[in-house]
Amino acid sequence: MVTLRTVAERAGVSAAVVSAAISGSSSVRMSEATRQRVEEAIRELGYVPNHAARSLKTSRTGIVATITPNLSNPVFDEALRGVQDAAEAHNGVVLISDSKRVAPGSNLMSRLVGTGMADGFLVRFLDEIDNENIATFEGRGVPCVVLNGPTDGNHICVWVDDHEGILTATSHLLELGHRRIALLGGPPSPFTVDARGDGFRDAFTARGLTPPGDEWIAHGYELEFVRTTTLRLMRSAVPPTAIVIDNIFTARGLLAAVADLGLRVPDDVSVIAYHDIPQADYYRPALSAVKMPLYEAGVRGYEMLQKMINGGGGRSVLVRRPGARIIDRASTRRITDV
């Protein structure tokens, strides 16, 4: 049987060095050449770490639980891919659960914490995951990173810069000559600042323009809400010439409403979505979008959690690299009359 000591002998290092290379620990110093030599020995020998034995020794399982929003939502899927790739690089395992399973009355959270099957948690703030749920982790000393932000400072958060993302989307429309712009999207979490709304308004004020009133900023993610709100906006006496939809997954409701009115995108109203997904190319018209570093946020979130699991201090981080980037497709156009 191939053991950790076998790998150490093949790589010409100590067992402690192999263990540190496998766990990603920084407690043992090694050069990049040494790390690569260890990894090569692992591949050649087909060594598989014994997580059960390691968990008995360290009281850790190598497992991280991720509580995600709707698993069918392709936006969060990119962040989850970053989490999983980071876990693989650390020889860890990710348990994934839909946030709907932790609705009020569910005992999933207490089971996960109480059994000790997970070393830490990555969660996404939604209505189903509130302060009480997070307090369950923190009250028992279980490391937890929230994939959202920024918050009121009570939790460790890692996420993309929503302010910059919506500001970038709105600025793109302003550069195309639009001034009557609406923001349609989800409600600010009670645990977060309204970074998206602030980004929307700041894009106007940065150009010396007065931001639209609150009647042009609507909060809600449900498809039917998006559809009826779009109908209301477009039927108003002075409708918007452009809309920022801050959830590309619900842009279907917006496009349906425009079509129901006999209007066309972008001829009658330009549309740009927050976050980019592969399916955006297959909307008609193909949706312009703002691409954010969601994958990188997933990686950073996992790494922050591992730091906390290993006894280090955590801190909230907004992942800003690579920066917000416009994916210009077919749903926006330049106008000269507003």
Q: Is the dihedral of CA 216, 219, 224, 226 positive or negative?
A: positive
Which H or E run includes 143?
none
The band of 41, judged by pLDDT with boundaries at 50, 70 and 90, is: confident
Helices (H), 161-275: 162-175, 195-205, 223-235, 251-260
Amino acid 67: pLDDT? 80
Amino acid 120: pLDDT? 86
Number of neighbouring beta carbons within 10 Å of residue 206: 12
pTM, full prediction: 0.77
Selected residue with higher pLDDT from 102 and 123: 123
Amino acid 305: pLDDT? 93
The candidate with the shortest Cα–Cα distance to 306, out of 62, 30, 19, 4, is 62
In order of start, what are the domains of the chain with their CATH numbers?
4-49 (1.10.260), 60-160+294-319 (3.40.50.2300), 162-292 (3.40.50.2300)
Q: Which of 47-51, 52-56, 136-140, 253-257 has the lowest mean pLDDT?
A: 52-56
Query: Which amino acid does the sequence have at 151?
Result: T
3-state SS assignment for residue 150: coil
Amino acid 260: pLDDT? 95
| Residue 52 confidence (pLDDT) above 70 | no
Q: For residues 143 and 277, what is the distance between their CA atoms, to the nearest angstrom?
A: 31
The candidate with the shortest Cα–Cα distance to 164, out of 293, 333, 298, 250, is 293
Tokens coding 161: 């810069």
